[in-house]
Amino acid sequence: MNYQKALLQDGSTVEYELVDDPPSGSMKKTYFSPDRSYVVQFYHDAAVGADPQRRERLEAILTRYNPTLSEAQGGAKGNSPTQADYYKNLFCWPTGIVVKPQLGIVAPFYPSNFFFKQGSLKNHEKEGSWFSRTKARRLLPAQELGSWDKYLEFCILMARSVRRLHQAGLAHSDLSTKNILVDPIGGQCVVLDIDSLVVPEVFPPDVLGTPGYIAPEVLATSTLALRDPKRKHPGATTDQHALAVLIYEYLLLRHPLKGPKTYAAQTAEEQERLEMGEKALFIENPTDQSNRSRELKVPYRKLGSYLSDLIYRAFVKGLHSPNDRPAAIEWERALIKTWDLLLPCSNPTCAQQWFVYDPSGLRCPFCGTRLRPAWPTFPLLKLFREGPPEVWRPDGEVVLWHNHSLFKWHVFTGIFPGPDSRDKTPQAYCLFHQGEWWLVNQNLFSLISPEGDRIGQGEALLLTNGLKFRLSQEPESRTVEVELIQISG
Amino acid sequence: MSYSPKLPIYLLLDCSSSMSGAPIEAVRQGVKALLADLRSDQQTLETAHPAVILFNSTARYVSPITALEDFHEPTLETGGTSALGAALRLLGLCLEQQLAGRSTGGSTGGSTGGSTGGSAGHEDWYPLVFIMTDGYPTDYWQEEALKLKSKKVGMVVACAAGDTTNLEVLQELAETVLQLNSLYPESFKTYFRWISDSAKTKSTRLPNRRTPPDLPPPPLRVRVVP
């Protein structure tokens, strides 16, 4: 083992194993620490090391732009230790700048759940395209594929990570399946290549992006000179395009722009620039079907109204109009609201196992099986929030199922799931018992039946069709109305 | 024609040169998040009327009170000094004009939507004010900030933008200070709430049975959204 020492900017040293053919990306090569808990990466181009702007950018990324360090530890302003710990899991954020033998960075290595455990890909990284393409999925062992609810979960984390970057005024500039590793079994993801973060007008992007994820306006103007004012560069709005593509791919297993439509061109590059750039067209565009794929088993509308709205905005309205694209925070919200509408598929061999409740039909869109569980109905909880006093306005819906739980963010309007809502104790759970649906109170202090009976902890409220009640009597709590949805017949 | 009360929302956006780069980008994202929250709530979708005051070396009213459905995000470019005091003074003028038009049910000063009111007695909601800045004003702003405290507003929220904000200034500006880099979905909705007493439940009187005696225990594995 050839262990070498690298000198960091703060004077400390780290060890790494020098090998002949280290893994290499477009900008850097990677060496591992002896215990493989961190990596030491050096830039290929020596000139990069001499560039003071590069050094300045790395310093800023390690300190004031850093959400994985609390403000007290030198990280981003307003960042609490809890938030820092949370974001440490979502980003492989650099922890040090290497100055000798050349300029580089030290970053944590991603944990073992991002590596395949079985089959011929054992110990390989879980790069996203293995899971988002039908042909690639067929090569994976079934146990590595993960269920659809887990895909929704890591999409939430992906949107949240990008949201955190964007709100700090930064942009990633190269979001793709290569730079965001996913774990479909645990529902996790981690963002890589943080040292290339873009700060608009200050630190420009290093790369154009990855084919398939480059925003149409960037690709269409990519042949212009770098300083041409008409040229479009990667930034937050192009990240928004890449994020939309990733979410669409993971949830529907196809690319939103790669359809049958082609254009005559002199070269393959020119053809790509037309198809994915200037002439890019959504394969499910409602008014222009010329790029519509034959295989559209699951139309995007099957994902429910929250996601359908954003998909329309991203790929119809916003495809060539960057300011109309949904922001990452909107994806985060829509994905979370959609999670509350999941129904379990009745087919034990369905690869997805979960689908979004669609009032027009109770059939899993992935395997075609109609919902047929052990009970004739399921409760749909309609949520209401108080508009002016005593006026209740619709505020979303939650599908309840046997052993599904309600949480604080369902009960109160000021709370939303995420790094800031640490209280994840279930407030109540739903049960099908002796032919009826019940809501069993676990931690609600003022759950009162419509008759005025207090439903204490461990006690249950019978859920009947049309029943309306308050989840709590505390301020900013919600009213709910129960609708029992018929499954059979 | 029935009159819908308006909820005026004033956005004071710092476009001085210290805001260039990450801070102004954070403001763009903050405005997007605010608009998304307004659009996703039926009540605010119908009533919110945003207006924009930009300030750097001068303060200017670039977008008067407009219905949410007609509102477009402002284009933000940075440069110049940071005349926060001038922006607060301009805001004060807008608030006075709006207050004058408020109780007569007519159109508020500077609004473009035209009067939708008819009879007297219609009242718009008290305005919300969001000030997005890095906290380095260059004019005499403290006096104007004090005057603002005496004006009739629903709420003033100072939003810290960027990586090197001066929180002391923001804390003097408003009781509520928000960090733009830690917004989560619906975090602006807390500020749209209306004061309510403990409301009475509108419920149907359906028979309810007692808790069954042999209820199974709670699920061991709990599904939680991330």
Query: Average pLDDT in the A267-276 region?
Result: 93
The two three-digit tokens of residue A438, written as one number:
């019940």
Coil, helix or strand for A138? coil
**What tens digit of pLDDT does each residue of A224-234 get?**
988 899 999 99
**What tens digit of pLDDT does each residue of B161-170 get?**
988 899 999 9
Per-position b or e across B180-196, b if 16+ CB within 10 A of its CB: bbbbbbbbbbbbbbeee
Q: What Rg, from alpha-carbon coordinates, does chain A have?
A: 25
- Domain ranges for chain B, please list them: 13-191
Residue showing tokens 């790369």 = A207
Residue A461 near chain B (CB below 8 Å): yes
- Is the model's pLDDT at A213 over the cut of 70? yes
Q: What Rg, from alpha-carbon coordinates, does chain B have?
A: 21
Which residues between 255 and 274 in chain A have a beta carbon less than 8 angstroms from any beta carbon of chain B?
none
- Is the model's pLDDT at B200 over the cut of 50? no
Q: Which residue of A has its CA nearest to B200?
A: A390
Q: Are strands A479-486 and A468-470 parallel, antiparallel or unpaired?
A: antiparallel
Q: Note whether B208 contacts A451, CB cutoff 8 Å.
A: yes
* Residue B208: per-residue pLDDT: 55
Sheet arrangement for strand A392-399:
A392-399, A377-386, A479-486, A468-470
Length of chain A: 489
- Is the model's pLDDT at A140 over the cut of 50? yes
Per-position b or e across A211-222, b if 16+ CB within 10 A of its CB: ebbbbbbbbbbb
Q: Note whether B199 contacts A389, CB cutoff 8 Å.
A: yes
The C-alpha torsion from B137 through B141 and B144 to B148, rounded to 10°, is 40
Per-position b or e across A406-428, b if 16+ CB within 10 A of its CB: bbbbbbbbebbbbbeeeeeebbb
Q: Are B181 and A168 in contact (CB under 8 A)?
A: yes
Residue A83 near chain B (CB below 8 Å): yes
* Residue A329: per-residue pLDDT: 97
Residue showing tokens 């991330």 = B226
Please tell me which of the candidates A157, A333, A448 has its beta carbon nearest to residue B226: A157
Establish how many alpha carbons lie within 13 A of residue A91's alpha carbon, considering only the half-sphere containing its beta carbon.
Answer: 29
Residue B204 near chain A (CB below 8 Å): yes
Q: Are A17 and A32 in contact (CB under 8 A)?
A: yes
Give the A:B interface size as CB pairs under 8 Å. Answer: 210
The two three-digit tokens of residue B214, written as one number:
């042999």
Q: Are B68 and B39 in contact (CB under 8 A)?
A: yes
Give Cβ neighbours of residue A77 (< 8 Å, ≥ 6 apart): A64, A71, B160, B163, B164, B165, B167, B179, B181
Q: Note whether A329 contacts B33, CB cutoff 8 Å.
A: yes
Cα of A214 to nearest chain B Cα, Å = 20
Query: Average pLDDT in the A160-183 region?
Result: 94
Q: Are A219 and A320 in contact (CB under 8 A)?
A: no
Q: Note whether B181 contacts A416, CB cutoff 8 Å.
A: no
3-state SS track over B100-158: HHHCCCCCCCCCCCCCCCCCCCCCCCCCEEEEEECCCCCCCCHHHHHHHHCCCCCEEEE
* Residue A4: per-residue pLDDT: 93
Contacts of B194 in chain A (CB under 8 A): 386-389
Q: Note whether B215 contacts A187, CB cutoff 8 Å.
A: no
**What tens digit of pLDDT does each residue of A405-457 get?**
999 999 999 899 988 888 899 999 999 999 999 999 999 988 988 888 889 88
Residue showing tokens 């109770």 = A362
Residue B202 near chain A (CB below 8 Å): yes
First to last CA, chain A: 68
**What tens digit of pLDDT does each residue of B34-84 get?**
999 999 888 888 889 999 999 999 999 998 999 999 999 999 999 999 999
Q: Are strands A13-17 and A3-8 parallel, antiparallel or unpaired?
A: antiparallel
Which residues between 127 and 186 in chain B have a beta carbon less than 8 angstroms from any beta carbon of chain A?
160-165, 167, 179-186
Q: Note whether A416 contacts B185, CB cutoff 8 Å.
A: yes
Model confidence at B120, pLDDT cuts 50, 70, 90, reads: very low
Query: Average pLDDT in the B73-100 region?
Result: 92
3-state SS track over B194-218: CCCCCCCCCCCCCCCCCCCCCCCCC
Residue A460 near chain B (CB below 8 Å): yes
Largest Cα span, chain B:
73
The sign of the dihedral angle between the CA atoms of B49, B54, B58, B60 is negative
Q: At how many degrees (to 10) do helices A236-252 and A328-339 cross?
A: 20
Whole-model pTM: value is 0.90
CATH number of the structural domain B13-191:
3.40.50.410
* Residue B122: per-residue pLDDT: 55
> CA-to-CA distance for A328 and A164, rounded, in angstroms?
9
Distance of CA A243 to the CA centre of its chain: 8
Q: Note whether A390 contacts B200, CB cutoff 8 Å.
A: yes
> How many distinct helices (H) and strands (E) make up chain A?
12, 18
Residue B219 near chain A (CB below 8 Å): yes
* Residue B213: per-residue pLDDT: 79
Q: Which residue of A has its CA nearest to B24?
A: A169
Coil, helix or strand for B28? helix
The two three-digit tokens of residue A352, written as one number:
């997805």
Structure letter (DSSP) for residue B97: H
Which of A360-364, B102-106, B214-218 has the weakest average pLDDT?
B102-106
> CA-to-CA distance for A453 and A55, rounded, in angstroms?
66
* Residue B201: per-residue pLDDT: 43
Domains recognised in chain A with CATH numbers: 3-81+90-108 (3.30.200), 113-339 (1.10.510.10), 373-486 (2.60.200)
Distance of CA A11 to the CA centre of its chain: 37
Cα of B163 to nearest chain A Cα, Å = 6
Residue showing tokens 């609600």 = A444
Q: Note whether A393 contacts B182, CB cutoff 8 Å.
A: no
Q: Note whether B182 contacts A453, CB cutoff 8 Å.
A: no
Q: Note whether A386 contacts B194, CB cutoff 8 Å.
A: yes
Q: Note whether A169 contacts B208, CB cutoff 8 Å.
A: no
Peptide bond preceding A101: is omega within 30 degrees of 0, i.e. cis? yes
Query: How high is the mean pLDDT of chain B?
Result: 82
- Bridge partner residues of B160 (DSSP): B133, B179
Query: Average pLDDT in the A228-248 region?
Result: 95
Q: Note whether A468 contacts B163, CB cutoff 8 Å.
A: no
Q: Which residue of A has its CA nearest to B203?
A: A468
Provide the percentage of residues in chain B whose pLDDT is more than 90. Answer: 53
